[in-house]
Amino acid sequence: MGMIGYYDMKKIFLILLAMPIFSVALSAQDPKVLFWWSFDDSAKSAGKEITLAGPHGSYQTGGLTKYVPGVKGRAIKFDGFSSYIDVLPGELKDGSKDAELLNLPRKMSIEAWVSLGAYPWNWAPILTMGKYKITGFYLGIDSRGRVGFHVSDATSVWHECNSKLNPDTKLGLELRKWYHIMGTYDPAEGMAIYINGKLENTYTDFIDRRRIVYSDIDKGFRMGMNREMLAPTDAIRDWATFPSRYSLDGIVDEIRIYDKCLHVSEIANIYASTKPENEPEFAPRKFPIIKPSGRFGANYTRLSFYPEWDALWPVGEFNDVVVQFDDLPTKIMFWRGTRYSPCLVSENGKWMADQSRETGNNWFLAQGSRDEMPTGCMEHMSDVQTRSSRVAIIESNDARVVVNWRYLQMDVKFRQNDSPDNTGFGEWGNELYYIYPDGVVVRKVLPGSGGWQETIFLSEPGTRPEDNVELAAATLVNMKGVSKTYSWEKGYPKFDLPDANIQVVNLKSRYKPFLIFRTGGSFSVFNGEVRPEYSHFPWWNHWPVAQITSDGRSANASDQAAHSSLSWGDPNGDAALYGMTDQAPASLVRLARSWNNPPTLTVISKGVENKGYDYTQRAYILNAGGSKKGIRFNLAGSAESPIVNPVFVIKNWVNSDIYLKINGKAVPRGKDFRYGVEYDVEGVPTMIIWIRCQGEREALIEFAII
C-alpha cells in the first residue's frame, strides 16, 4: 500500500468497521481446529461458510489497524503504536455463541504466520486471553524478537517457553521475513515453541499438571496490543521509564487454535503445506527526504517518515520547516520526529542534531513518588507528541533565514517543573537560528535553565551508529589551527587538545557537521552508557520518533530510529556557530576568528550609527536613522580578525534596490551579494545584507542606492 494520510486512514478505518472484516471458521472435518482467523472476508469449512456478525457483534478494533497482502489472501497489519483487535463473545451467523467456543481444552496448540517491521518495546501479543502473567495464555514476541508461549496453571505460576536468541546478533526473528510459529501445551508433556516447522525450545517445569486457568473470559481474545501497558525494556533509568502504550509492529496471518498438543511431524507438515503468496508489505523507513529546490530559503512543509508513523499525526501540511541552499547540497530540518530539534542533513542523508535546554527532577526518587511529580530528564526529547515544541519562520529572504524554536522542558509524562520564578509557566527553552547562504548557522539560546549543547548524531532504521560515523568520530581544532582527531575504536577517548573550541563530526558523508564556540569554550567526551558488545558509541532509541514513556532506552538492534552522543560542550556564551563543510577541519579557523574577533567597522558616512557587532547574529548592526543616502565604511581585516562573508543589519534605511562596491570594484547582486528587507510592526524597514568575500586586509565597503 502507498502512503496514507491520517484523515484518509480514518476513512479507510470507518469502511473496515462497516463490513465483516475478519473471519473465524470451525472445521467440522478436522476437529483439531477450534478457531481460525484467516483475515480474509470469510472462510469456508466443510462447504459451510461461517463468519462473525461484524463489529457490533464479535469484533472490536482499535487504532490504525489495516489489511495488507498476507501469506494467503489478506493479513492484518498492526502499526506498532495503536493497533489491536478484540475478539468478543457474540452471535455467529448460525446462531451459536462465542462463549460456548471458549471452553478451551486442557491441551492446545496455537499457530500463526508473522512478519515484523520492528521489535516490540517489550512483549507484544499475537494472541492472548486472560490477565498477563496471572491467568490464561500468551503467544507473543519480545523486544529482541524471541517468540514466547506462556501459560498460567492452577498454581498461579506463570510459565514461559521462549525461543532462543542468535548468539551473534543477540536477536531472534529477523525483520521483514515471514515466519511460521507454533506454541504447544500439554499439562503432562509441557510446552514447546516451533519456528518454521522446527523445534526451538521446550519447557517442562510444572508442579501441577492441571489445565490452564482463565479469567476475564467475557473480554475474549486480544491480538496486537497488551491489555496492560508494560514499561519498555533496556531502560537507562528504570525510575524514569513508565508503562507505555504500543502494539505489535508487524503483519499477522492465519492464526489457528488446535484442541491438542501437536507433535513435530504434524507441525512440520502444517508449515510445509503453506507457501507464502506475497512478500511482507513494509514501506522503507527512511528519514525524510526532500528534493532540492535549487534556492536558498525556508519553507513550511509536512515531512514524511513511513505510512504507519505518519498516520499517527493529526497535523496539516505546514508543520515542519526545511531550510535549503542554492550552493550547498545540505539541508537543515526542523521535523516533528525530532521534536523540532533542528538537524544538519548531509548530501547523503546523514543527520546531525543537538540537545535542547535540559534540567532534571526527582533524581533517584529522592523527593518522592515518581507518580506524583515530574521525574527524570526535563527536555525537548520528552515531548513525543510535540505538545509544546513549535517552530516558526521569522525571516526568509535572499540574505538570511531566521527560525524560532520554542519548547517546554518537560518529563516523559508531559509534566513540568515548578517555575523558578513562581509564575507558574515552568521552564521553557527559546532559541533563534540565524541561517546564511554559506550554510553557517548561529544558534542563539535565550536565557533559561539548564545546559543546551550535546553533540548528537542520528541513525535511521536499518543502520547502526558505525554506519553513520567513522570510529575516528571527532576532530577538535583550536584558534591556532592545531587539530587532533579522536577515535572510539578502543573505547572512549579523552579530549586533550588545549583550548579547542572547534569540533568537526566525521560522519560518513562528504559534508561533515562543524560546531564553533566562543573563545574559552570547550568540549568533553560523552563517557557514559556505552555497551561495547552492541556499539562503540552510546546507542539509544527512545528518541527520535519513538512514542514510549521513557527518558532513556538502550538500543539492541537497528530496527528503530536512534541517536548517539559524542560530546558535551561549554559554549562560553549564549550562541554557537553550526554548519557543514567538505574542507579540512583547520580551514574553519578563519571563520572562528572572524566571529570571535570580528574586524573593526568604521563608519565613513554621516548620520549612520555603528551599534557594534552582534555575535549572536554573526552581524554588524547599523542604524541609518532614516537616511536615504548610501552608506560607506571600512572593515579592518587582518590575520587575527579576518573578513569572512560578513553580514550587515541596517535598521531604518531605504527599502529600494542597492548596489555594492568593495574597494571600488562593483559586485553585482547575485550569489555573492544578497540582501532583503524586513519590516517591523510599525513599518520601519531593516536591510539585511550578506556578502561573499574573504580577506585579511582592510576593505572599503560602499552601498549605494539605485
Strands laid side by side in the 390-396 sheet? 390-396, 401-408, 428-435, 441-445, 575-581, 512-516, 500-507, 469-478, 483-486
Q: Please give the average per-residue pLDDT across 105-109, as a whole number.
A: 90
Q: Please give the average per-residue pLDDT across 269-278, as a whole number.
A: 96
Q: How far apart are CA 85 and CA 63, in angstroms?
A: 9
Strands laid side by side in the 600-603 sheet? 600-603, 631-636, 698-705, 658-662, 665-667
The DSSP line for 456-509 is EEEE-TT--HHHHEEEEEEEEEETTS-EEEE--TTS------TTEEEEEEEESS
Residue bearing cell 486471553: 129
- From its phi and psi, is residue 652 left (phi > 0), alpha (psi between -120 and 50) or beta? left
56 pLDDT more than 50: no
16 pLDDT more than 80: no
The predicted structure's pLDDT at residue 90 = 58
Question: Are 148 and 169 within 8 A, CB to CB?
Answer: no
Instruction: Give the percent of the chain with pLDDT over 90.
Output: 81
Question: Are 585 and 579 within 8 A, CB to CB?
Answer: no
Chain centroid to CA 296:
26
The predicted structure's pLDDT at residue 58 = 59
E strands, 204-312, are: 221-223, 249-258, 297-301
Q: Please give the average per-residue pLDDT across 119-143, as a whole number.
A: 96
Cell representation of residue 518: 566562543
646 pLDDT more than 80: yes
Chain centroid to CA 228:
25
- pLDDT digits 0-9 by tens, 234-264: 999 999 999 999 999 999 999 999 999 999 9
The predicted structure's pLDDT at residue 418 = 81
The predicted structure's pLDDT at residue 59 = 64
The predicted structure's pLDDT at residue 153 = 82
Bigger pLDDT: 350 vs 30: 350
33 pLDDT more than 90: no
The predicted structure's pLDDT at residue 555 = 98
Question: Are 343 and 380 within 8 A, CB to CB?
Answer: no
Q: Please give the average per-residue pLDDT across 281-310, as a whole number.
A: 97
Give the pLDDT band of residue 96 (cuts 50, 70, 90).
Answer: low
How distant, in Å, are the alpha carbons of 130, 255, 268, 318 from that of 181?
21, 10, 11, 44
Question: Are 655 and 685 within 8 A, CB to CB?
Answer: yes
The predicted structure's pLDDT at residue 378 = 96
280 pLDDT more than 70: yes
Q: How far apart are CA 197 and CA 266, in angstroms?
A: 9
Q: Please give the average per-residue pLDDT across 428-449, as a whole number.
A: 97
The predicted structure's pLDDT at residue 654 = 79
Query: In this structure, which amino acid lies at residue 124?
Result: A
The enclosing H or E element of 171 equals none
The values of phi and psi at residue 620, to 5°, are: -85, 135
The predicted model scores a pTM of 0.91
- pLDDT digits 0-9 by tens, 533-565: 999 999 999 999 999 999 999 999 999 999 999
Q: How far apart are CA 221 and CA 688, in angstroms?
A: 65
Beta strands 74-79 and 66-69 are: antiparallel
The predicted structure's pLDDT at residue 32 = 75
Question: Are 117 and 282 within 8 A, CB to CB?
Answer: yes
The predicted structure's pLDDT at residue 275 = 95
The predicted structure's pLDDT at residue 97 = 52
- Calculate the dihedral angle through the C-alpha atoms of 258, 260, 265, 266, rounding to the nearest 10 degrees: -30
E strands, 168-225, are: 179-186, 190-195, 198-203, 221-223
Q: Please give the average per-residue pLDDT across 265-285, as a whole number.
A: 96
How distant, in Å, are the alpha carbons of 221, 546, 614 from that of 611?
72, 46, 9
Q: Please give the average per-residue pLDDT across 212-240, as a whole number.
A: 93
Give the pLDDT band of residue 15 (cuts 50, 70, 90).
Answer: very low
Query: In this structure, which amino acid lies at residue 432?
Result: L
Q: How far apart are CA 305 and CA 8, in angstroms?
A: 17
The predicted structure's pLDDT at residue 11 = 34
Question: Are 376 and 239 within 8 A, CB to CB?
Answer: yes
- From its phi and psi, is residue 624 left (phi > 0), alpha (psi between -120 and 50) or beta? alpha
Cell representation of residue 89: 463473545
Most confident of 28-37, 126-135, 415-424: 126-135
Bigger pLDDT: 2 vs 561: 561
Least confident of 31-35, 60-64, 202-206: 31-35
76 pLDDT more than 70: yes
- pLDDT digits 0-9 by tens, 653-685: 977 899 999 999 999 999 999 999 999 999 999
Q: How far apart are CA 134 and CA 365, in angstroms?
A: 29
Q: Please give the average per-residue pLDDT across 334-360, as a whole number.
A: 97
Cell representation of residue 304: 514524511
Q: Please give the average per-residue pLDDT across 502-510, as a whole number.
A: 98
Q: Please give the average per-residue pLDDT across 353-363, as a whole number.
A: 95
Cell representation of residue 500: 579547542
Cell representation of residue 595: 566571529
Give the pLDDT band of residue 25 (cuts 50, 70, 90).
Answer: very low
1 pLDDT more than 60: no
Cell representation of residue 566: 559524542
The predicted structure's pLDDT at residue 213 = 86
- pLDDT digits 0-9 by tens, 581-615: 999 999 999 999 999 999 999 999 999 999 999 99
* Residues in a beta bridge with 181: 112, 195
The DSSP line for 18-46 is TS----B---SS-TTEEEEE--SS--EET
511 pLDDT more than 70: yes
Query: Helix or strand or coil: residue 306?
Result: coil
Structural Rg of the chain based on CA atoms: 31
Question: Are 265 and 312 within 8 A, CB to CB?
Answer: no
Q: How many residues does the chain have?
A: 706
Q: How far apart are CA 473 and CA 469, in angstroms?
A: 6
Chain centroid to CA 131:
32
The predicted structure's pLDDT at residue 436 = 98
Cell representation of residue 4: 496514507
Least confident of 105-109, 250-254, 266-270, 446-450: 105-109
The predicted structure's pLDDT at residue 53 = 33
Instruction: Give the percent of the chain with pLDDT over 70.
Output: 91
Q: Output the furthest CA–CA distance in the chain (Å, rounded).
A: 102
For all residues of the chain together, what is the average pLDDT? 90
Task: Give me the half-sphere count of Cα atoms (radius 13 Å) on the Cβ side of residue 631.
Answer: 26
Distance between the two ends of the chain, CA-based, in angstroms? 57
Non-local CB neighbours of 288 within 8 Å, separated by 6+ positions? 303, 304, 305, 320, 333, 335, 337
Least confident of 38-42, 255-259, 434-438, 576-580: 38-42
Q: Please give the average per-residue pLDDT across 331-348, as a whole number.
A: 98
The predicted structure's pLDDT at residue 685 = 94
50 pLDDT more than 70: no
Q: Please give the average per-residue pLDDT across 203-208, as a whole number.
A: 84
Chain centroid to CA 451:
22
Q: Please give the average per-residue pLDDT across 122-136, as a whole number.
A: 95
Non-local CB neighbours of 161 within 8 Å, separated by 6+ positions? 148, 149, 150, 183, 190, 191, 192, 193, 201, 202, 203
Give the pLDDT band of residue 423 (cuts 50, 70, 90).
Answer: confident
The predicted structure's pLDDT at residue 89 = 63
